[in-house]
Amino acid sequence: MNDLSNLGEFGLIDLIKQDTINDHSSVVVGIGDDAAVVLPTPRQLQLLTADMLVEAIHFDLTTTTPWQLGYKAVAVNLSDIAAMGGAPRHAVVSVALPRSIPVDFVVNLYKGMKEICREFGVNIVGGDTVSSPQGLVINVTVTGEVEPANVVLRSGARPGDVVAVTGNLGSSAAGLDLLQAGEWEDDAFAWPLVTAHLTPRPQVKTGQLLAALGATSMDDVSDGLASEAHEIAKASQVGIKLYSDKIPLAPELAGAAAKFNKQAIDYALFGGEDFQLVFTMEQGKYETLQAEHPELRVIRVGEVVDASEGVTLVDETGQVKKLEPRGFNHFRQEE
C-alpha cells in the first residue's frame, strides 16, 4: 500500500521540498539542513506568527480536501502578517501525520500550501514531519517584514477614529454550519459561504496599503467582529461603537441564517475565520483613502469612542446594546 511507512521520513521530505522557493533572492538554504538560512531585508522589522490546526478541533477531513486544508493552514498565518501591515516572507511547516495516511493525501496537503505560497511570494524553508498516534496536526509559522514606520498594532486606536472592515463578515461561520449539517450542495446560497470557510483569502495587499495610509490599529477577523473590537478596545484603551446595519454581509448569508434559524448578523459578530481586516483610521485619512483608492473595498462599520462607553452595537432601531466579546474560545466550558 502506498502509505507513509513505505516512503519513510526522508522520502517524504524529498517529495515535499519541490517547488517550495518562490523568492530565490532571500533564501540561502531551504529545506534539508538543520535550519533554514534566509536573508532579511535591511532596515525592516521582522514579524513572526504561528497557528496550529488540530484535526477534530479546527477541521474535519470529511468536509475539507487536503489541498484546501493546506491552503487554509498557510492563509490564517498570512492573515496575521496582513493585520500588522507586513509582507509575508517565509513559512516553516510542521505536520504530525497518522502512519496510515496515504502519500497522496500528504502530497495534496503540501500542494495547497505551495499554491498559496506561490500566490503570495512566500517560501517554505523548513519544518518537521513526525508521526501522530491519531489525528493530523499542522503548525505553520510565518515570518514577515514591515517598514518600521508602517507597523500597525492593536493599540493605536484613538477616539474619533473611523472603524472599518475590508469585506463581508460571517460567511465563514455560516459555511461551517453548512459543512457540518451536510447536503449543502443543493443550496444555491451555499457555495460562496463554504468557500469562504475552506479557502479564506488573506488580505495581504490591502493590509500593507492600509498600514501605509495610516491605519491606527488593525486586526484580522479570526474570532468574529465582536471579539476583535474588544481586543482593539482593550489594547488601545478606548471604546468602540459598531452599527449593525453597516456591517457588510454576503447576500448568500440570509439563506444560511434562515436554514439554521439564526440571525445573519450574529454570524458576523460572533462567528469566526473570516480573515478580513478590521482597522481604525483618523476621519480625514479615511476620506482621503476613499477618494484616492476607489479600487479598495473598505466599509465603515463604526467609530472609536471613549473607553467609558465600552464596546457597543447600535441596532437597526437605534438602540445601543453592550456587545459581548464572545467568539470561539478553545478552553471555554461547554454551554
Residues 305-324 that bind a copy of itself (CB under 8 A): none
- 297 HSE (CA, 13 A, CB side): 7
How far apart, in Å, do the first and last CA atoms of the chain sit?
44
Closest contact distance (angstroms) between CB of 326 and a copy of itself is: 11
Subset of 1-20 contacting a copy of itself (CB under 8 A):
4-10, 12
Closest contact distance (angstroms) between CB of 259 and a copy of itself is: 28
Residues 6+ apart with CB under 8 A from 259: 177, 178, 181, 187
Task: Choose between 51 and 252: whose C-beta lies nearer to a copy of itself.
Answer: 51
Subset of 184-243 contacting a copy of itself (CB under 8 A):
218-220, 235
Q: Select from 51, 252, 273, 274 the one that contacts a copy of itself (CB under 8 A).
A: 51
Residues 6+ apart with CB under 8 A from 17: 30, 31, 32
Q: Select from 14, 18, 19, 46 the one that contacts a copy of itself (CB under 8 A).
A: 46
The residue range among 52-60, 158-166, 195-203, 238-246 that interacts with a copy of itself, by the rule CB under 8 A, is: 52-60
Q: Select from 154, 197, 241, 262 the one that contacts a copy of itself (CB under 8 A).
A: 154
Contact (CB, 8 A) for 164 and 225? no
Task: Choose between 28 and 320: whose C-beta lies nearer to a copy of itself.
Answer: 28
Closest contact distance (angstroms) between CB of 38 and a copy of itself is: 5
Closest contact distance (angstroms) between CB of 191 and a copy of itself is: 28
Contact (CB, 8 A) for 301 and 226? no
Cell of 155: 493599540
Cell of 263: 440571525
Determine, following the binding rule CB under 8 A, whether residue 161 of this chain makes contact with a copy of itself: no
Closest contact distance (angstroms) between CB of 225 and a copy of itself is: 15
The residue range among 62-70, 84-92, 111-119, 304-312 that interacts with a copy of itself, by the rule CB under 8 A, is: 84-92
The residue range among 91-99, 171-179, 192-200, 296-304 that interacts with a copy of itself, by the rule CB under 8 A, is: 91-99
CB burial readout 135-159, b (16+ within 10 A) else e: ebbbbbbbbbbbbeebbbbbebbee
Contact (CB, 8 A) for 229 and 242? yes
Size of the site for a copy of itself (CB under 8 A): 78
Q: Could you give the CA distance from residue 59 to residue 264 in angstroms, rounded to a whole number?
A: 23
The β-bridge relationship of strands 87-98 and 123-132 is: parallel
Subset of 240-279 contacting a copy of itself (CB under 8 A):
none
User: Hunting for cell 529545506 — which residue is that?
Assistant: 31
Residues 6+ apart with CB under 8 A from 210: 85, 152, 166, 218, 277, 279, 281, 289, 298
Closest contact distance (angstroms) between CB of 235 and a copy of itself is: 8
The residue range among 25-33, 189-197, 282-290, 303-311 that interacts with a copy of itself, by the rule CB under 8 A, is: 25-33
